[in-house]
Amino acid sequence: MEAVAEKLAIKGGEFLIRETNAREIFVPEEFTEEQRMMGDATSDFIEKEIHPIAEKIDTLEEGLLPSLMRKAGELGLLGVNLPEEYGGLGMSFNTSMLIADKIGAAGSFSTAFGAHTGIGTLPILYYGSEEQKKKYLSGLASGEIMACYCLTEPDAGSDANSGKTKATLTPDGKHYLISGQKMWISNAGFADLFIVFAKIEDDKNLTAFIIEKEFGGITMNDEERKMGIKGSSTRQIFFNDCKVPVENMLSDRENGFKIAVNILNIGRIKLGGSAVGGSKTVADLALKYAIERKQFGVSIASFGAIKHKLAEMAIKVYAAESAAYRAGQDIEDKIDSLIAEGMDDAKAKLKGLEQFAIECAIIKIHGSEVLDYVVDEGVQVYGGMGFSEEAPMARAYRDSRICRIYEGTNEINRMLIVGMILKRALKGELDLMGPAMAVGQELTSVPSFETPDLSQPFAEEKEVIKRLKKAVLMVAGRAAQNFGPNLNDEQEILMNIADMVIEVYGAESAILRAEKVQELKGADAARFHEMMSKVYLSEAVDKVNVAGKEAIASFIKGDELKVMMMGMKRFTKTNPVNTKEMRREIADFMVEKGTYPY
């Protein structure tokens, strides 16, 4: 019971200042039979309905994508997270993460799916009135109604609250007239329902509205010609005195910006989960090609350089997957604890997601950048064929690139990570400054020569992670002290610190997963888990070191610079591991299995 109580007390961002026990986290190996069956059904749907017509989907044939969405609705995939009373399946948050993972293999369809089930549907579930929920959610769950989310404008991208779309109350007080332009709207071409953000009069913040296509006053540009996800509908939308009943205001006046921020948290972590699924698919394709492709009379999968690429794909996916489901379960546990305390179900879900907004941003960045790495190396494994439209890598390469842009660019998300951590520290919600000051004192003290108890699983690796956290605290704490509120203007430093935070979370998640699998299934079953987590940690140490030194050198001088550089050296000290041999073993294991092994 103590472990459970401690787990429920975990706060977002707290991983930086406390040690996490492997028993506290969720690992994919713990999915129930029911959850696995749901995942398998999703994979079967993609394999049978999406992959055979991928090229046809990319032509944007009228009616094709909506018909596929309705088929997904028939299987229950559009309503995984929706309560049964509104036509959904009422499944857990991490189950929806599993579905997002599987859908990640579906290219353009995954964008349409994510836009509909996430940012198109969840604003109504979490913020809608009971009447609005009853009116719209069952149709959204079945696919009878298609949804899109209209936030971005030509002059309002990352700064969403600066949007110029206006909502004017009619003289009789029964309608709002919505006028303005929205762009980059996924699903716009076939949507029946629009979640639209506009400002009423001179309000500082946005207000959200539910707009039906039948209300009129809506026109669109032609479909955007995009680099990738060509089969997804993306159009500009113009609202011209669109007449919206006052009862279709979503939540309260000026609550739109809060809605946008909270819904994007969900979109971010789900995108990260989807990127994991896409990465697995591409890694599998590259592996199969490497096994089949012969050069100099042997399979290229037997070459050391190719083994390195195959293993690195698996290692990075392993860490991203571990982090995604760890964060997903933390969110789920928080939601459950809030509901147990008597909080309304929808409000509890929002509060749970808001609590772990830092982790949501981490998962989005990490997952999307792992995907980009995997597709790039996938093209390289295919060689000349990788550059051909006849092979699957060209589409994967184009499709992946958007993931670092939508749901908030990775640059914006990096700055959000650090900003949210420091904001919570200032509010007293996260005791960051105490540990940061302790690290500062440690810099001028005699180094401890105590060694960890190596009889415990992963003891040495956990000590490394502890030191990496100290490196983050040292840099972040000193930067906050030096710049104060002006730290927001030091974007390069913010991104350095964010890179350190992301690598710490990814490495710790991988190590904890390997430890838990070892505990659940034994050392033999966890052997390759152990190797992948150790290689990832070795690489993470170097990345933390580089980012930390770059940040320190940008604002510290003289003797203090020397002291902090010595601190970075101390905190990123680790015993070398033979990563070459580990990668070779991992690659050989993949070849034996014929797939990404986990």
In order, the DSSP letters of 215-247 are G--EEEPPPP--SS-TTS-EEEEEEEEEEEEGG
Give CA torsion, residues 385, 389, 393, 399, to 10 deg. Answer: 160
Among 153, 312, 407, 515, the active-site one is 407
d(CA 549, CA 499): 12
Could you give the angle at the alpha carbon of 285 between the alpha carbons of 281 and 288, nearest 5°? 135
If phi > 0 it is left, if psi is from -120 to 50 it is alpha, else beta; for residue 277 that is alpha
| DSSP secondary structure of 445-507 | SPPP-----TTSTTHHHHHHHHHHHHHHHHHHHHHHHHHGGGGGG-HHHHHHHHHHHHHHHHH
Active site residue 19: no
Full DSSP string of 399-412:
HHGGGGTSSS-HHH
Q: Residue with structure tokens 């979370």?
A: 505
Strands annotated E in 187-337 = 193-200, 207-212, 218-220, 234-245, 249-250, 294-295, 298-299
Cβ pair 503, 551 in contact under 8 A: no
If phi > 0 it is left, if psi is from -120 to 50 it is alpha, else beta; for residue 187 that is left
Tokens describing residue 407:
């749901």
CA dist 157 and 47 (Å) reads 35
What's the farthest any 2 CA atoms get from each other in the chain? 81
CB atoms within 10 A of CB 11: 17
Which residues, 6+ apart, have CB-to-CB distance to 349 below 8 Å? 93, 126, 335
H/E element holding 287?
Answer: helix 256-292
173 exposure class (CB count in 10 Å sphere: 0-12, 13-18, 19+):
exposed
Amino acid residing at 223:
E
Phi-psi region of 254 (alpha: psi -120 to 50; beta: other; left: phi over 0): left
**Is the distance from CB of 62 to CB of 190 less than 8 angstroms?**
no
Pairing assessment for the beta strands 147-150 and 193-200 based on DSSP bridges: parallel
Instruction: Find all residues with CB under 8 Å of 595, minimum gap 6, and list them.
Output: 284, 287
- Torsion of Cα atoms, 494 then 496 then 501 then 506, to 10°: 140
| Secondary structure class of 522 (helix, strand, coil) | coil
**Active site residue ranges:** 407
